Every structure is written in structure tokens, then in C-alpha cells.
């Protein structure tokens, strides 16, 4: 059974860089997208970005200028860096495994079926 375990600093000052890592246990690293998602207090889910095993990335256009997602396949880990944080970046951050499947000629589904436990990140001076 695949499990994701994440860690990183929970308290940052404005302008610092958020850094989180997610380790994948018990399953293959290839063939999936590995995502970061966040959720500000009392608000909905926001996708931040993803990476696959070969290092190909996609980012949320609204965060792209500040985000970097990287992968270390030797450790089955992937990481998030978000630069120049402000109070608006205060949120619970989750890592998740994504799978994209074609089910019909022009129809697909995309799922995030395994999630990390979440890390609360607070940005405050």
C-alpha cells in the first residue's frame, strides 16, 4: 500500500522560501504525477504544481513565477519550493499522487488517490 509522508518548516517569515519534501513508500514512482496542493484556512483546495518521474513539471499559472517542484528518484522523494512567501501563502500543504488515464477515444479521468498527511505552514513576521 502506497503511503506519502511529508515534512518541512511550519513557520516562515515574509520573503522567505517555503520548502517541503514528500517521500513515497511502498509503490512505484514512475507512471504517476506527483503533486502539491494547498488549502488556506477556511478555503478550498488549490493545486500548486506537479512533477513526473522523469522531472517534467507543470505549474499553476498563478504561482508559476515563485514555484519549483523537483524530484529525487534515488530516494523516491519530491519537493516543493515556494519563494518570497507572504501571509497569503499561509495554508495546509498536501502532497499527492496523481494518475491520468485514457478511458475512451477522447475521454480521460484524473485522480489523486494517495495523499500525504498535510503540513500546516504559517507565514508571519
Give the footprint of other proteins on this chain (CB under 8 A).
35, 37, 44-47, 50, 58-61, 94, 98, 100-101, 103, 106-113, 115-118
Residue 76: CB minimum distance to other proteins, A: 19
**β-strand partners of 47:** 37
Of 13 and 43, CB closest to other proteins: 43
The dihedral sign for the CA sequence 33, 84, 44, 23: positive
Q: What are the residues whose beta carbons fall under 8 Å from the beta carbon of 94, sequence distance 6 or more?
A: 6, 36, 37, 38, 39, 115, 116, 118, 119
In the complex, least distance from residue 17 CB atom to other proteins, rounded to whole angstroms: 22
Q: Which lies closer to other proteins via its Cβ, residue 17 or residue 100?
A: 100
Backbone angles phi, psi at 88, to 5 degrees: -65, -15
- In angstroms, give the least distance from the CB of 103 to other proteins: 6
Nearer Cβ to other proteins, position 29 or 116? 116
Amino acid at each position: 500500500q502506497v503511503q506519502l509522508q511529508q515534512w518541512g518548516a511550519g513557520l516562515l517569515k515574509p520573503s522567505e522560501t517555503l520548502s517541503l519534501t514528500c517521500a513515497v513508500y511502498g509503490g512505484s514512482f514512475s507512471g504517476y504525477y506527483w503533486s502539491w496542493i494547498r488549502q488556506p484556512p477556511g478555503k478550498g483546495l488549490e493545486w500548486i504544481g506537479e512533477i513526473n518521474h522523469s522531472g517534467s513539471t507543470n505549474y499553476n499559472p498563478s504561482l508559476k513565477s515563485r514555484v519549483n517542484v523537483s524530484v529525487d528518484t534515488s530516494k523516491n522523494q519530491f519537493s516543493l519550493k515556494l519563494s518570497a512567501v507572504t501571509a497569503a501563502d499561509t495554508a495546509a500543504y498536501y502532497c499527492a499522487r496523481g494518475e491520468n488515464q485514457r478511458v475512451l477515444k477522447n475521454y480521460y479521468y484524473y485522480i489523486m488517490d494517495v495523499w500525504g498527511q498535510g503540513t500546516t505552514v504559517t507565514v508571519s513576521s
